[in-house]
Amino acid sequence: MDGLLTRRLPGGATLIVRPDPGLGFVAVNAWHGAGSLHDPAGRSGLAHVVEHVMSEGGSAHATTGYECTNYVATGPPTALPALLAEAGDRVRRGRRGVRADVLDGHRRIVLEEIRERDEPGRFGSGLRRGLRLLFGRDHPAGRPPVGDPAEVAAVTPDDVAAFVEAHYGAERLVVSVVGAADPDAAVELAGNHLAGLPSGRPAPPPVTGEPLGAREDVEEGQPTSMVRLTFALPPGSAAAEVVMAALASAPWSVLGSRPGLLGALGQHARCALGPAIGLVKLSAPAAADLAGLERDVAARLAAVARDGLPPDVLAAAKALRIREQLGVLGAARTLAEELCREHAWSGDAAGVTARLDAVRRVTNAEVAALAAGPMARPSVVAFHAAGEPSWIL
């Protein structure tokens, strides 16, 4: 990627600058190698709670994933000193600890987020159930990053302090600046505001473990039926990105058409420190034969494992994935995050464009191997509709 500058700052943090003078603003993303995979036993959701605590009083939009927590903020070019100062102050403030009453407020917000996501009647518990069946309740990837409500409610100020001390050090901090910024000035500012941060502890080893694969029948008051399949996919796999793009864009070609099927959707959550997650959701009328639908899906995936994808579907999936990635790279906020992600994954932020080439090179043999391997043992959650059939989704 032309014009990209990467500097390791005194203390261990990394700065990436992608200048774009014509943009008219700057986006600053702070990537901390601290996600839900690092939650200690009995404290799932701790990384998410810490994100809320660390965001207080700042201007950044924050998200917690399996392997990282991101804080991204935008502003005019003149705001760059303040945005970089905020990235450093966030760590320093977090290391000073949190009062019990302040933590209580953030816990309530997180618990409300979990309640809304798990709301009965909207298939909200599907992800939680699917991950638990796939990995087991005690595996770090066996629950969504938001955490378990009972464990979130038990988080203490000491838990927050220990997590920040362990995972929010400079060695696992990558900050990117995208937009109307002079690279030399950005390096000087970052040195002023990010130098001197504690180094923190080294990143723990990647999470491993064989997926279990299981199924569960559920009835939570939904007006329609749904089958959700959850797959554990290889970390950073371009073939997995292509397969999930195929399921997202051409489900009828990949899974086959079925009379009465209301819709199909595929999603893919990339990861490098643990298994990536693939989701397929098939919605159906209340009276649908869900067992037959599951058999159809298994048969179609078995065909993919044997023959790969039809050539037109493979080509369309690659084109979709490349188009999606170009959209990410073409927007300042998402590019800022992607540069940090790629540096954390490969040590070279310029690799964001190499991922496009990796997608182009995916072969049907790789697709077939993926379908015959990791995708052959999904977890399955079958939601059965309750009451009279309804066409209001």
Q: What pLDDT was estimated at residue 391?
A: 40
User: Per-residue pLDDT averaged across 213-222, rounded?
Assistant: 89
Residue 389's pLDDT band (cuts 50, 70, 90)? very low
| Whole-number average pLDDT of the chain | 91
**Token digits for 235?**
């970390």
Kindly write down the DSSP assignment for every residue of 197-252, as one continuous string. ----PPPPPPP-------EEEE-SS-SSEEEEEEEEE-TT-HHHHHHHHHHHH-HH
Q: What pLDDT was estimated at residue 390?
A: 42
Q: Above 80 in pLDDT, residue 386?
A: no
Q: What pLDDT was estimated at residue 158?
A: 97
Q: What pLDDT was estimated at residue 263?
A: 77
Q: Above 70 in pLDDT, residue 388?
A: no
pLDDT digits (tens, 9 = 90+) for 109-146: 999 999 988 876 667 889 999 999 999 988 999 999 99
Report the predicted TM-score, pTM, of the whole model to 2 decimal places: 0.92
In the chain, pLDDT over 70 holds for what percent of residues?
94
pLDDT digits (tens, 9 = 90+) for 46-71: 999 999 999 988 889 999 999 999 99
Name residue, tokens 């190698």.
Answer: 33
Nearest-angstrom CA–CA distance, 336 and 73: 10
Which parts of the chain are beta strand (E)? 5-8, 14-19, 26-32, 61-64, 69-75, 173-179, 215-218, 225-233, 263-269, 276-284, 379-383
Q: Above 50 in pLDDT, residue 228?
A: yes
Q: What pLDDT was estimated at residue 220?
A: 85
Query: Of 3, 2, 10, whose CA–CA distance to 187 is shortest?
Result: 10
User: Per-residue pLDDT averaged across 368-381, rounded?
Assistant: 94
